[in-house]
Structure 1
Amino acid sequence: MWVYNSEVLETSVKWFKDSASVEDLERLDDLINSRAAEGWEFVTHSYMANVIATRSAILVTFRKEK
């Protein structure tokens, strides 16, 4: 049995043309590595574009055995 944990990581700017800033990628790597150190396994991520706001976000999901 698995326990899942999803987190929203806001990007520093709204992304255009499917590109990301280096800082956003570093923040994503830091989050994944931090959760891995806590025993969470990275499962998936999804980019959540926001056409109205100035920022978008990444939904990141982790799991670990219960």
Structure 2
Amino acid sequence: MTTELDDERDADPAQLPEAVHEVRERSEQIRQALASLPVHYRAVVELRHYQELSYEEIAAELKSH
């Protein structure tokens, strides 16, 4: 299970080109760091931060797998 970051959400077109580049670079670093995590750790991060589940919901989700 992987969740891609939304590049359109990351980059605000009103920002300066340098800032947009920094945001994209940071997003890529985050993607790489997440990809390097063991699956069970990555799942927790993705469920919490990208699907915005509560810790109780995450516990229930992980118990069902």
Fold-level similarity (TM above 0.5):
no
Looking at secondary structure, tell me which structure has more strand per residue: 1
What is the TM-score of this pair, normalised by structure 1? 0.37
Looking at secondary structure, tell me which structure has more helix per residue: 2
What is the TM-score of this pair, normalised by structure 2? 0.37
Q: 1 or 2 for the larger relative contact order (CA 8 Å, sep ≥6)?
A: 1
Which protein is bigger by CA-based radius of gyration? Answer: 2
